[in-house]
């Protein structure tokens, strides 16, 4: 289980993921964040029935906490997306043993949203929060689309990223785990905070245009 968690970048063996993703260009980072997750996740789904459910819930909650907490003080967009990946995978592992279909739904939506986020950032050529401010002047339509994608990744209703979290919280409550559901919902607020910060930089700030005085 820990070996698969290491491959997926789950807490507490997540330390390699933000550093590696930071050193990659956005296209390679997109592959690492999406395609590379499929093989270990397939193995984890098959092994889940034989694993202690308390271990899966603990790893899931720890990952959502680390993913939310770690992204708060970041200015590099690739590191923020890495911590976002840790948090999203924590949600999937949290519900893996109780409702595998929800895990697959979450994984599918995560791949679509993360691909959209990486591609819009690549189109804007944005690597830090500061460079996001130039996006609105380059292409307002693309900036608005990027903001919607980021808010969806944060799980803000009524966007599509909210649906899997809602269903997971509902299923955890049905399984008699209201405390785990409450903790997961609280950690989701951490992720939402740094996504809102990105949206603020993207849509509500204007890059300063310094004009040189002509003699």
Q: HSE-up of 173 (CA within 13 Å, CB side)? A: 8
Q: Given a cut of 70, is residue 215 above it in pLDDT?
A: no
pLDDT in tens, 164-177: 999 999 999 998 88
List the chain domain ranges: 1-204
pLDDT of residue 97: 87
110 pLDDT exceeds 60?
yes
Q: Round to whole Å and give the CA distance between 71 and 188.
A: 12
Residue 164 and residue 102 in contact, taking contact as beta carbons nearer than 8 Å = yes
Would you say 74 and 83 are in contact if contact means Cβ atoms under 8 Å apart? yes
pLDDT tens-digit series, residues 132-170: 877 777 778 888 888 899 999 988 888 888 999 999 999
């Amino acid at each position: 289980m820990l070996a698969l968690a290491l491959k997926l970048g789950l807490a507490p063996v997540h330390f390699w993921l933000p550093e590696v993703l930071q050193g990659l260009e956005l296209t390679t980072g997109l592959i690492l964040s999406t395609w590379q997750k499929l093989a270990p996740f397939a193995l984890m789904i098959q092994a889940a029935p034989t694993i202690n459910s308390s271990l899966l819930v603990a790893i899931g909650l720890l990952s959502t906490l680390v993913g939310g907490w770690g992204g708060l003080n970041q200015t590099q967009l690739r590191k923020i997306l890495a911590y976002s990946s840790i948090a999203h995978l924590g949600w999937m592992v949290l519900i893996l043993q109780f409702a595998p279909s929800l895990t697959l739904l979450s994984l599918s939506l995560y791949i679509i949203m993360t691909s959209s986020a990486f591609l819009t950032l690549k189109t804007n050529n944005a690597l830090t929060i500061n460079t996001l401010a130039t996006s609105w002047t380059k292409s307002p339509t693309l900036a608005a689309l990027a903001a919607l994608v980021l808010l969806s990744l944060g799980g803000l209703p009524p966007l599509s990223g909210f649906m899997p979290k809602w269903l997971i919280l509902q299923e955890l409550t049905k399984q008699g785990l209201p405390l785990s559901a409450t903790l997961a919902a609280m950690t989701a607020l951490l992720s939402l905070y740094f996504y809102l910060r990105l949206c603020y930089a993207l849509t509500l700030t204007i890059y300063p245009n310094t004009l040189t005085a002509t003699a």
